[in-house]
Structure 1
Amino acid sequence: MTATIYKISPKDAWDAAEAAGTFTGAPVDLKDGYIHFSTGAQAVETAAKHFAGAPDLVLVAIDAAVLGPALKWEVSRGGALFPHLYADLPMSAVRGVKPLPLGPDGRHVFPPLED
């Protein structure tokens, strides 16, 4: 599978995770029992579907190889395989964090993504 996966998060929630040294998940992750991620090819659609118009988001790039067997690729939206982490996300897996601003059209402006 892909080497880099992505998590979209409100900036304040991500700042709290960095301060704690681990990310335990957003409310939807806690409800579902795993942390939702997207590949580079899936991230724009994920933002449009689940974060439309939301300000103050960050895009967190994650090294999938660091996550080991707790990372599962499972069928989700439209039959595509999505990465799901059945553990807390350690900060050691984070490759970088970038702002995910809204453009003039109200859609999020993404930096270049790896896939």
Structure 2
Amino acid sequence: MNTTIYKIAPEPLWREAESRGRFEGAPIDLADGFIHFSTRDQAETTARLHFAGQDKLVLVAVDAGLLGDKLVYEPSRGGDLFPHLFAMLELSAVKWVRPLPLGEDGLHRFPDMEA
């Protein structure tokens, strides 16, 4: 079974990654030594806690099955297991990229994550 994991990223940073053919990480990823991801159930809370009020974001869906043993699920917020990638993200593992706009209430409006 292929599991989809999600990365929230500033759109300009993601567009740079697309031009390079790989995503090396956001500043927090580079500082921590791995790329932070969320599961479907974790993504909205991640947006609320770590990206509150930020506009011009994208939600990136990644096929976790293509990341191999460099993807590790580790305990984080509340003891939940979060996917962490200890490598660059090759864009061949990306399923889709969609805008993550802010609503009038200041919360992000998530796209359909099924497709």
TM-score, normalization by structure 2: 0.96
* Residues 23 and 88, structure 1, Cα contact 8 Å, conserved in 2: yes
Aligned residues: 114
TM-score, normalization by structure 1: 0.96
In the alignment, structure 2 segments of 5+ residues that lack a partner are none
Corresponding residue for 2:110?
110
- Give the AA of the match of 1:63: D
**Superposed CA offset, 1:27-85 (max 9, x none):** 00000000000001000000000000000000000000000000000000000000000
1:94 paired to 2:94: yes
CA distance in 2, matches of 1:102, 1:31: 27
Corresponding residue for 1:57?
57
* Residues 2 and 63, structure 2, Cα contact 8 Å, conserved in 1: no
| RMSD (Å), alpha carbons | 1.1
Following TM superposition, the consecutive aligned residue runs of length 4 or more in structure 1 with deviations greater than 4 angstroms are none
1:7 paired to 2:2: no
**Superposed CA offset, 1:64-109 (max 9, x none):** 0000000000000000000000000000000000000001101000
* Residues 2 and 39, structure 1, Cα contact 8 Å, conserved in 2: no
CA distance in 2, matches of 1:19, 1:2: 26
- Percent identical: 61
CA distance in 1, matches of 2:96, 2:41: 18
